[in-house]
Amino acid sequence: MNNNYEGCPCTLNTTRICGDTPIDASIEVSKIGFADMRPNTVILVNENEVFDGIAASSLVHFPFNAPILYTDGNTLSKKTLEEIQRLSPKGYQEIQVILVGNIAKAVSLELTFHGFNTEQMVGHNHYETATMVCDFREVFDNIIIMSGEDYTEGIASAYWAAHHGSPILYVQKNNIPRCTFEEITKMKNVNVYILGSTKTVSKSVELSLEQIRNVKRVQRIEGNSIYDIAVNFAKYKDEETGFGWDRDYRAGHAFTFGDINQPMSIIAGVVFAHMGKHTPLLLVEKDKVPMIVESYIDSVKPLPPKDMPKPPFMHGFIMGNLESISYEVQKSLEKYLSIDYEMMGMDSKIEIIENVPDIIEELKQKIKEKKHNINIGNAVKGKEDVELTHEKNSDFYTQPEMIKMEHKNLDKGREVLAESKDNCSVDMNKFKKYCMNHSDKDLVNFVNYEIGYEYIAEKVKFDCLIIGVRDLID
């Protein structure tokens, strides 16, 4: 097969947004997001100002309901003007175009000349500009804190800001700028979420935020890399406040994919978080999908049906042309998002187990003989939990308590049961250690010890699974 491709390719489960410049990319997103409706406003940002663009993203959310468009810092792009005219924004409090950050007054005057009412928010720097955007939003319970020196760990915050309206404020690694501090002190009982590791926002800054009297709570979403942080944010949910995407379950999720070296294209795509499929951001490299991203998609991807395909399905928006994100990466994302590969036996990671009911009964009887009690119920395809109650003198578990196993398709379980698939044995010490490491939460994510479930992981023979489970019981 010839893998060379030119133009702006799409696949069954991916849509690519191309543009030779950030201005072009922002216009393409605007045409998709507002194809048949008028926005309330349009947000205009200097195409060279990443931090202004990130801060502006909270204005995409209602009531402003706006795309982000770009222009040169000194003049109004003709193509951008034409898109604003096509959009014909309805206006919010009589404002039709909101200029955020470092844009010359001449741009505002030209928009006025063409009949648009404008409002501009610009500070002495992007720290101050972000506080002005925050003031303009007025009503919110949560704010996001990220580095104002290095956007790479915090750029995913723009997608949540567009989705939910949470303002973004900037700090330095070891300092809270005065304008940011004063802005937070004006708020009433606010929750603060830091996006980024201590490489970009130090622990001392986190502690200082906790000391501000009107801050209710401070939480941090971090990771070992920018890719890891974006994945962790996509999975994150604060149960007390509702903050976070909570995309950590199997369903028909959609994501936007971007390369960190093209930040303005990434920011233009926040409209996809605001409307339509409401996508979190995941980061990829130009020629590679990071392993953490691949594993995450696999963990939330719907299991393929045994018969005809039916929803839910996955989808991905790719921000950038072929020079930014290669066609090979797009094909890889198509493969990871699609359920067709498993159904057609192409690079399948799942093997279907036959005669499940008989095996359930056999195992239940075996367990009963050992005075263990398993409530299996109607567990199918990992959707229900298996609770195991065991005696206090049990030598198998590290703690004589109930351990709840949430069956998510994790690599850890696959690794344990597939440890020695040649002789169908299970590394008991490794399994005990795994339980011990999780005993503080009494929660063991151990998929492939899935008694009675229809699916097992890659390359683990069915007979091996049964023998392995019996080893655990015996």
Structural domain spans, the chain: 351-473
Residue 299: both structure tokens together: 């963990």
Question: Is the pLDDT score of 158 beyond 70?
Answer: yes
Question: Is the pLDDT score of 39 beyond 80?
Answer: yes
- Dihedral sign for Cα atoms in the order 11, 16, 19, 24: positive
Question: Is the pLDDT score of 30 beyond 60?
Answer: yes
Long-range contacts of 221-227 (CB under 8 A, 24+ apart): 221/193, 221/194, 221/195, 221/196, 222/153, 222/194, 222/196, 222/197, 222/198, 223/197, 224/197, 225/290, 225/292, 226/152, 226/153, 226/260, 226/283, 227/282, 227/283, 227/284, 227/290, 227/292, 227/293
pTM: 0.75
pLDDT of residue 3: 59
Question: Is the pLDDT score of 273 beyond 60?
Answer: yes
Query: 414-423 b/e with 16+ CB inside 10 Å = b?
Result: bebbbeeeee
Q: How far is CA 223 from the centre of its chain?
A: 13
pLDDT of residue 305: 72
What does DSSP assign to residue 175?
B
Q: Which tens digit of pLDDT belongs to each residue from 310-361?
A: 788 999 999 999 999 999 999 999 999 998 876 665 544 433 344 445 555 5
* Range from 67-76, 109-118, 292-301, 381-390 carrying the lowest mean pLDDT: 381-390
- Dihedral sign for Cα atoms in the order 267, 21, 98, 49: positive
Neighbours of 295 (CB within 10 A): 14
Compute the distance between CA of residue 157 and CA of residue 279 in angstroms, rounded to an integer.
Answer: 12
14: enclosing H helix or E strand:
strand 14-17
Long-range contacts of 89-96 (CB under 8 A, 24+ apart): 89/38, 89/39, 89/40, 89/41, 89/42, 89/116, 90/38, 90/39, 90/40, 91/40, 91/41, 91/117, 92/40, 92/41, 92/63, 92/64, 92/65, 95/41, 95/119, 96/41, 96/42
364: enclosing H helix or E strand:
helix 356-369
Report which of residues 445 and 108 the model is more confident about. 108
434 band by pLDDT with thresholds 50, 70 and 90? very low
Per-residue pLDDT, averaged over 120-145, amounts to 96
- Dihedral sign for Cα atoms in the order 256, 260, 262, 266: positive
Compute the distance between CA of residue 474 and CA of residue 457 in angstroms, rounded to an integer.
Answer: 23
Neighbours of 78 (CB within 10 A): 10
